[in-house]
Chains A and B, each alone.
Chain A
Amino acid sequence: MANYGTNEFKGGLKIMLDGDPHSIVSNEFVKPGKGQAFTRTRVRNLKTGRVVERTFKSGETVESADVMDTTMQYLYSDGEHWHFMNPETFEQLAADKTAVGDAALWLMDEAVCEVTLYNGEPLAVTPPNFVEMVIKETDPGLRGDTATGGTKPAHMETGAVVKVPLFIEEGEKIKIDTRSGEYVSRVK
């Protein structure tokens, strides 16, 4: 397994800390003119999602984490697991609730996701940045009201709730930004 020195630290680097894989969120070089140098980092535990501060003495080395992002296609959920397929090798794998997390709200047929693998097992699932979904339920639309800028909650088939403009109707297809969970536009 490779090791990284503090001078190789950068955002996104995957390292092992306390037995768990972590991703470096940010890092800062700290050094008094005449004194010891340190690297202060914020790291995200890829298992729990928790972000903590961690300071290293310059020159320390840490083990790299065997973490890989792969592009996979979502197939279906059996209620307990979410099943994905590698579109090139057709290899399939199942991710549990902890790995899928909030991504479950955006998983629709054949959505192309980033699946983060740790030692070959799914650790996290990142949905596509944009998805298109049909509104299952929302209050009746106010026709012609495109100017007031008001919003109302709309329920999706997956269980996601998105704030949509007042003129949007039940059964309409909309585009959503999964990173913010916000409505983007109507899909004709």
Chain B
Amino acid sequence: MSALMIRDLHKSYGGLEILAGINLEARTGEFVALVGPSGCGKSTLLAMIAGLETVTSGEIWIGDRLVNSVQPKDRDIAMVFQSYALYPTMTVRQNITFGMESRGVPKAEQAEAVKRVAALLQIEQLLNRKPGQLSGGQRQRVAMGRALVRDPKLFLFDEPLSNLDAKLRVDMRTEIKKLHHRVGKTTVYVTHDQVEAMTLASRIAVMNQGSVQQFDTPKRIYDRPTNMFVAGFMGSPAMNFIPARLAGSTSISVRAADGGDATLALAAPLPVGAPKDMVLGVRPEHIYRFTTDLKARKPAVQSMQAPVELVEPTGAETLAVLRLGDLEITGRFEPDDAPVMGETITLGIDMSRACLFDPVTKALL
């Protein structure tokens, strides 16, 4: 059964269309991430699921109930906000019990629930403090506690980690993942950070300009992005896009560093009706230094020459900017095996992992 079902959802303010026909579905216990650049409508979509924004047209189902016109409090949801939205004048305990208090839950039951949640999130020692006396990470926990105590059908997270510093963000990301494993609640998680989406979600909906571009597992989204937007948005550094032309039935040619053409054999035959011009998409980690050993291990590897413009060591890996005609592409290398600036190296491109796009429709071929 699906815990959340969204059918052909539209939202517009006056003449401005924010969401243009969203279809989405989350199975019970699933962790769905909505990811996209700012202004893509992901937060609006979440607010509509929560009932904080009205629906222009379409349907939102939570469980087996159509909730289009149901009040937020009756939707059986809990939400964690970007700013945490902890009530500043209440203690942590009061923050957690406020919802139950509003619903008239008996005191004894409230105390029991607070105890359970505080133990789960290890915030027992913070219960009598006010939000102003907590660190960012502690506030984050309390905000999650307030959501968890409800035991809702659906958890909504609105960019919950974007106010934390980089290190804490990684820690809290792990915590959220652990927490989701433990409580197993259906979760919809909005983020603009594709790494967060990749690490947390069981399925990702990549959004752009008010519509879902692709809704699939992280692996499928990463390996087989349906269009150039998804390909470029997911992954850092971004996928390299190289203009290419059809050369024979199973190979393509690209402009090489010296201005001539380099021919690359495709790993799989092209679909029927593929255009003559296309865009080759290669992720930086699928670019190697070519060796015969590599060719033996990965038969689909094709080689070409490219001068190294710039080298950026990050410690764990070294990124190299390579020149290809008037194009710059990025390759990711092992630090021990990294090229040096000014060198011209023979690249090995793993064609079995490469994607081909239609330059007009931007769609995957």
Mutual binders A and B: no
Interface residues of chain A, those whose CB is within 8 Å of chain B, are none
